[in-house]
């Protein structure tokens, strides 16, 4: 089982590398850039003593090396300090928003992958038919239309012209009474963002699935599978899609970092109370602890999902186990 | 019994029309092995694919192919699926690419049993292991994946898969190509035994005349998409009339001479 | 080769972005009409912008009115009477026959007027409600409206100008500050093209070098470069760009550099795989055997080999960069003084395009970005086919 070990050494090493680089970059980017972080929260009329006190609070009076070590310890324990703007612990702020972001992203990406896969396989089978043309068009749209523009148009259509969905927010103000009502209200607020992400996401996914399945359909083993008389359904889903699964998972893995970008933009368009929007507000407000913490956590989540997807690729592709060809 | 009457196959690529088979008539009787011999491009693989209805959609087929008296040429795909593997099974060349690379050998052998015989997964896989044992691979091979087997082992697995639904007829497409000589002989023996024990008919597609003359009763020689000669294997040395056959025989004799 | 549609689109964009503004008067940053005016072709029941001079004669200025009552009206200019009139006024006669005195002009032979319907005093003097936005009293129904100077002495000179800002303006309407969206759209083309093309050139240059070194030199350099590519591909791009744009500054050149630095990975991979097969090519092995220096082989033979595909890669890379630039600008991370399509969308979102339903603020920049991206993708496909004719027809 040596090849499996090597595969994982490589993957884990890569993940550790990403985290290390992000940690270092985070530290230096937020510290060495022009502008005095304390100055941004301080009224210039503050006394020098108050300023020094504040610098000590954020550990900014120590030498850089000590600062870095302190910083590493804090990152390891997810202690990102207090947000400049709200004076609350950054971790608390992020954890408060994380469920909203997950409630947006998880259903959206599951649905678009599901829809994209089904449509992609159908398009691959019915080459030249309407299904294939639709998939090609949807793919072109998702690669060339700015996502936030499509979302803005949807918002204008379904929240202004036909006011079916709310214009902004994750929850009505004031929130309704009762658990079920709150849940329904949240779903009502999330429906349009999720729908828009599915609309934007499924086309590219369907196009990928279609291309891979078309390629697999041309392979020799598909002739044997067809000769076995196992029926079109097994042929497509059991053989063609199954054989295309490892590269599909690899592509899914590569698309994960983009999911985070999608969260930032979507939460901005629909004014959702999520981590992406939090990152944007901190960046715009030069709230360094908050921006650094949110960025670091988002990277950790991406790297973690990457490893999970790697594990799935390994499960799906027997060739990795015995050191056949690497799928990536 | 498979009877082929006036079979023509042509491909259209752009404005060019390419004739792969023209007016081939021959019969592949049950209970014996018929060789389909010819060089690459002679149309022998097209013939096999036409019987199973595996030609690409742009191929145009004319003529009749009677499998036990039923014409399979204009059949719909779901009708074809009912005679594929139950009546006629394919033994492909056991290259790496003949099997789905991400499915285990056992599940690929068991698949036709589940579809055509309606067996449950457990029962189908038990039978698959028996079949793999029968072709000399050992039941352990069921858990392995195509890339873990050697060429000869894959060829045996392909045979096990072909035998799974007890077909009346086997179509073996270059079953020994790309194997080394000793293994070629083993596979040839295995095929011969399987056909004899199960009283099947078989068409052996090969460019290898020595192999065909060793295994087959009748040999059909194809050249440029036409059937040029049908001859009993034992008459091969003296009775060949067509120049193409004679050339093949001459090459064969020369090789034997070199060996002895 | 047949002219692809994308080539036409790009030609039109280039013309509109770089040549057309030279012939059009006006600064895109200056307001030209009422804020949130619709495009002229959009809603025919709303009034277009108008400006009318009031002549000296007794008949005054007559014009036909067939729209809904507007919200804005202004009268500016000078009136000079031959001698001081004892009784004079600027009269507004409505289609329904009502007569309004816009301004009393008696007792003085020179008047400078600056009336605006937004002034409370003016509204009240006309008997209009200070709360009702539209000027229903002055525009009581469709028909002819007359504005004239009524006086007991002749009018010597008048430069009175009646302006109705209207609710419709220009090809694409106006934004929240009353700026011409069409002009903004034209100026936005420049930024998208400039950033898109330059950033891709930067990234292609990096990707070309990295790919050639990784593929041709191989060894530790290959491992290092490909690891770097893996790392860059597994970091969320937009947050990185956001942080860098916020910290480094929002200027166009910084943007070009940032986007270029973070989008060379695909090119590097493509070039690397080409360089791998290039290294094994017989004539290259021959050159090596003859002792040709690596740099010479790569510069003289390597780059020309990968160039056609690199060109296709450049064209195919532009949409990604344009979209990233637009996303950053949309998030508010661009220089507010630079007009760009992303910035237009940002302002549309921030200044109430949704609460006023101002679709004309969204569609021009958004569709502009999409069309430009589609055109570059088509161009890239064409270049790909040119570089590798086998692709022709094979790809649907």
- Please state the domain extents for chain A: 96-327
| CATH number belonging to domain C50-164 | 2.60.120
Residue B208 has pLDDT above 70, yes or no: yes
Cα separation, C340 vs C193, whole angstroms: 10
At C394 the pLDDT is 44
- Does A319 touch chain B if contact means CB atoms closer than 8 Å? yes
**Minimal Cα–Cα distance from A179 to chain C, Å?**
30
At A195 the pLDDT is 92
> pLDDT tens digit string along C206-220?
999 999 999 888 888
Q: What is the mean pLDDT of residues A138-158?
A: 88
**Which SS3 state, helix, strand or coil, does residue B104 take?**
coil
At A31 the pLDDT is 67
Does B69 or A117 have the greater pLDDT score?
Answer: A117
> pLDDT tens digit string along C65-96?
888 888 888 888 888 888 888 888 888 888 88
> pLDDT tens digit string along B171-207?
988 888 878 888 888 888 888 888 888 888 899 988 8
**Residue for token pair 């990234």:** C203
At A197 the pLDDT is 92
Instruction: Give the predicted TM-score (pTM) of the model.
Output: 0.81
Which own/partner pairs from A98-103 qualify as long-range (CB within 8 Å, at least 24 positions apart)?
A98/A274, A98/A275, A100/A170, A100/A272, A100/A273, A100/A274, A100/A275, A101/A263, A101/A267, A101/A272, A101/A274, A101/A275, A101/A276, A103/A186, A103/A190
What's the CATH number of domain B2-87+171-259, 3.40.50.300, 3.40.640.10, 3.40.718.10, 3.40.50.2000?
Answer: 3.40.50.300
Instruction: Give percent of chain A above pLDDT 70.
Output: 88
Residue A307 has pLDDT above 80, yes or no: yes
- Does A276 touch chain B if contact means CB atoms closer than 8 Å? no
Residue C294 has pLDDT above 60, yes or no: yes
Strand partners for B219 = B35, B231
Q: Which pLDDT band, with edges at 50, 70 and 90, does C376 fall under?
A: very high
**Residue for token pair 């000589």:** B181
Domain made up of C181-392: CATH architecture: Orthogonal Bundle (1.10)
Q: What is the mean pLDDT of residues A24-37?
A: 66
For the sheet containing B70-71, what is the strand order? B16-28, B2-13, B59-67, B70-71
Q: What is the mean pLDDT of residues C334-349?
A: 90
- Does C365 touch chain A if contact means CB atoms closer than 8 Å? yes
Whether C236 sits inside 8 A of A127 (CB atoms) is no
Q: What is the mean pLDDT of chain C?
A: 85
Q: What is the DSSP letter of C180?
A: B
> pLDDT tens digit string along A226-255?
888 888 888 888 888 898 998 888 888 888
Rounded to whole angstroms, what are the CA distances from B45 to B23, B108, B155?
15, 23, 17
At A42 the pLDDT is 53
Q: Which pLDDT band, with edges at 50, 70 and 90, does C157 fall under?
A: confident
ipTM: 0.85
Residue A326 has pLDDT above 50, yes or no: no
Domain made up of A96-327: CATH architecture: Orthogonal Bundle (1.10)
Q: Which pLDDT band, with edges at 50, 70 and 90, does B118 fall under?
A: confident
Q: Which residues in chain A are contacts of B82 at CB distance < 8 A?
A: 229
Residue B220 has pLDDT above 70, yes or no: yes
Q: Which pLDDT band, with edges at 50, 70 and 90, does A57 fall under?
A: low
- Does A285 touch chain C if contact means CB atoms closer than 8 Å? no
> pLDDT tens digit string along A166-214?
888 888 777 788 888 888 888 899 999 999 999 888 888 898 899 899 8
Whether A319 sits inside 8 A of B111 (CB atoms) is no
For the sheet containing B226-232, what is the strand order? B88-91, B169-173, B201-206, B33-37, B218-223, B226-232
Q: List the single residue in C with minimal CA-CA distance to A18.
A: C231
- Does B75 touch chain A if contact means CB atoms closer than 8 Å? no
Q: List the single residue in A with minimal CA-CA distance to B79.
A: A229
Does A55 or B68 have the greater pLDDT score?
Answer: B68
- Most confident among A139-148, A261-270, C94-103 (mean pLDDT): A261-270
Residue A35 has pLDDT above 80, yes or no: no
Whether A224 sits inside 8 A of B147 (CB atoms) is no
- Please state the domain extents for chain C: 50-164, 181-392
User: How many CB pairs lie under 8 A apart between chains A and C?
Assistant: 144
Residue A266 has pLDDT above 60, yes or no: yes
Whether C235 sits inside 8 A of A160 (CB atoms) is no
CA C65 to mean position of chain CA atoms: 33
């Amino acid at each position: 089982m040596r090849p499996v070990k090597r595969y994982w050494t490589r993957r884990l090493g890569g993940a550790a590398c990403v985290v290390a680089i992000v940690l270092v970059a985070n530290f230096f980017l937020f510290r060495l850039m022009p502008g005095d972080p304390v100055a941004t929260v301080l009224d210039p009329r503050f006394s020098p003593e108050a300023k020094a006190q504040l610098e000590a609070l954020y550990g900014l009076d120590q030498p850089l090396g000590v600062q870095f070590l302190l910083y590493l310890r804090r990152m390891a324990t997810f202690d990102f300090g207090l947000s400049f703007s709200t004076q609350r612990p950054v971790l608390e702020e992020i954890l408060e928003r994380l469920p909203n972001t997950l409630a947006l992203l998880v259903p959206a990406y599951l649905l678009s992958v599901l829809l994209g896969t089904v449509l992609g396989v159908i398009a691959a089978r019915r080459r030249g038919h309407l299904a294939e043309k639709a998939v090609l068009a949807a793919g072109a749209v998702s690669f060339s239309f700015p996502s936030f523009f499509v979302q803005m148009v949807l918002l204008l259509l379904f929240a202004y012209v036909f006011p079916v969905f709310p214009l902004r927010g994750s929850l009505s103000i004031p929130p309704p009474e009762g658990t079920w009502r709150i849940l329904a209200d949240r779903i009502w607020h999330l429906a349009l963002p999720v729908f828009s992400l599915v609309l934007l996401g499924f086309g590219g996914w369907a196009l990928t699935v279609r291309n891979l399945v078309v390629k697999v359909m041309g392979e020799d083993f598909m002739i044997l599978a067809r000769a076995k008389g196992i029926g079109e359904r097994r042929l497509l889903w059991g053989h063609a899609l199954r054989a295309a699964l490892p590269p599909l998972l690899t592509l899914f893995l590569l698309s994960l970092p983009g999911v985070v970008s999608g969260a930032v933009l979507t939460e901005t368009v629909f004014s959702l109370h999520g981590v992406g929007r939090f990152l944007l507000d901190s960046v715009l407000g030069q709230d360094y602890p908050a921006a650094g913490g949110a960025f670091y956590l988002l990277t950790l989540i991406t790297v973690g999902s990457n490893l999970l997807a790697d594990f799935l690729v390994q499960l799906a592709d027997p060739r990795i186990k015995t050191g056949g060809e690497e799928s990536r | 019994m498979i009877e082929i009457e006036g079979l023509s196959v042509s491909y259209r690529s752009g404005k060019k029309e390419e004739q792969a088979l023209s007016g081939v008539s021959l019969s592949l009787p049950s209970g014996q092995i018929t060789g389909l011999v010819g060089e690459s491009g002679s149309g022998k693989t097209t013939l096999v694919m036409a019987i199973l209805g595996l030609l690409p959609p742009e191929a145009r087929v004319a003529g009749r192919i009677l499998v036990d008296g039923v014409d399979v040429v204009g059949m719909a795909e779901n009708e074809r699926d009912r005679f594929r593997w139950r009546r006629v099974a394919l033994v492909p060349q056991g290259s790496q690419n003949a099997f789905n690379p991400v499915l285990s050998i056992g599940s690929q052998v068991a698949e036709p049993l589940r579809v055509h015989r309606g067996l449950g997964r457990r029962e189908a896989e038990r039978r698959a292991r028996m079949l793999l044992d029968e072709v000399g691979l050992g039941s352990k091979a069921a858990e392995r994946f195509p890339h873990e087997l050697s060429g000869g082992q894959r060829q045996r697995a392909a045979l096990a898969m072909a035998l799974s639904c007890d077909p009346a007829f086997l179509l073996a497409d270059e079953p020994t190509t790309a194997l080394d000589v000793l293994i070629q002989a083993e596979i040839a023996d295995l095929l011969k035994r399987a056909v004899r024990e199960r009283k099947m008919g078989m068409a052996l597609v090969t460019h290898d005349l020595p192999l065909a003359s060793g295994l087959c009763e009748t040999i059909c020689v194809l050249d440029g998409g036409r059937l040029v000669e049908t001859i009993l294997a034992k008459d091969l040395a003296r009775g060949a009339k067509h120049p193409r056959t004679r050339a093949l025989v001459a090459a064969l004799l020369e090789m034997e001479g070199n060996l002895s | 080769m047949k002219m692809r549609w994308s080539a036409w689109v790009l030609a039109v964009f280039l013309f509109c972005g770089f040549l057309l503004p030279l012939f059009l008067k006006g600064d895109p940053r200056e307001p030209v009409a009422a804020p949130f005016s619709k495009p002229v072709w959009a809603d025919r029941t709303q009034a277009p912008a108008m400006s009318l001079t009031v002549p000296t004669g007794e008949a005054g200025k007559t014009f036909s009115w067939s729209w809904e009552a507007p919200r804005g009206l202004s009268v500016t200019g000078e009136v000079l009477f031959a001698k001081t009139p004892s009784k004079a006024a600027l009269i507004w006669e409505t289609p329904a026959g009502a007569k309004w005195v816009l301004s009393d002009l008696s007792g003085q032979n020179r008047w400078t007027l600056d009336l605006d319907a937004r002034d409370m005093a003016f509204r009240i003097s006309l008997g209009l409600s200070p709360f009702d936005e539209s000027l229903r009293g002055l525009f009581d129904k469709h028909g002819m409206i007359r504005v004239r100077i009524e006086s007991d002495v002749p009018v010597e000179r008048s430069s009175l100008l009646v302006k109705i800002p209207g609710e419709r303006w220009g090809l694409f309407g106006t934004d929240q500050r009353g700026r011409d969206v069409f002009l903004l759209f034209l100026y936005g083309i420049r930024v998208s093209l400039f950033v898109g093309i330059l950033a891709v050139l930067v990234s292609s240059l990096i990707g070309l070098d990295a790919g050639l070194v990784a593929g041709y030199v191989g060894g530790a350099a290959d491992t290092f470069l490909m690891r770097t590519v893996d790392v860059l591909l597994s970091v969320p791009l937009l947050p990185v760009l956001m942080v860098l744009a916020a910290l480094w500054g929002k200027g166009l050149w910084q943007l070009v550099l940032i986007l270029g630095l973070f989008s060379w990975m695909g090119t590097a991979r493509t070039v690397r795989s080409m360089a791998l097969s290039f290294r094994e090519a017989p004539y290259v092995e021959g050159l090596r055997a003859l002792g040709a220096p690596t740099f010479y082989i790569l510069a003289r033979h390597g780059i020309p080999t990968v160039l056609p595909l690199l060109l296709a890669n450049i064209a195919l890379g532009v949409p990604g960069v344009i979209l990233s630039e637009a996303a950053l600008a949309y998030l508010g991370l661009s220089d507010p003084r630079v007009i760009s399509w992303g910035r237009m969308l940002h302002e549309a979102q921030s200044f109430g395009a949704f609460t006023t339903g101002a679709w004309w603020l969204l569609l021009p920049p958004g569709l502009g970005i999409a069309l430009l991206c589609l055109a570059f993708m088509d161009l890239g496909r064409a270049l790909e086919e040119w570089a590798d004719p086998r692709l022709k027809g094979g790809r649907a």
